[in-house]
Amino acid sequence: MNTLLFLGNIGTPEIIIIALAILLLFGGKKIPELMRGIGKGVKSFKDGVKGIEDDISSTLEEDSKRKLEE
């Protein structure tokens, strides 16, 4: 039994119904384009998060170096 936080108890039949509904809504040709777009969005988000983490860590390193010099 799969339990997701916002979906409650969801099983195989429900997943199959959702997949069929998506297939009917978007069609077989549009789904690869949709997944490609989602993948690019996730990659862009991860790159942005990594950039922020790098900025924070470099700022912390600079602050610690300044404190050691004082």
pLDDT, residue 4, reads: 53
Answer yes or no: are the C-beta atoms of 28 and 20 closer than 8 Å: no
Which tokens in the block code for residue 2? 């799969």
Q: Is the pLDDT of residue 8 over 80?
A: no
pLDDT at 1: 46
Q: For residue 4, what are the β-bridge partners?
A: 8
SS3 48: helix
Q: Nearest-5° angle of CA 3, CA 32, CA 46?
A: 65
Domain ranges of the chain: 2-69
What pTM value is reported for the model?
0.55
**pLDDT at position 39, please?**
93
- pLDDT category at 29 given cuts 50, 70, 90 is confident
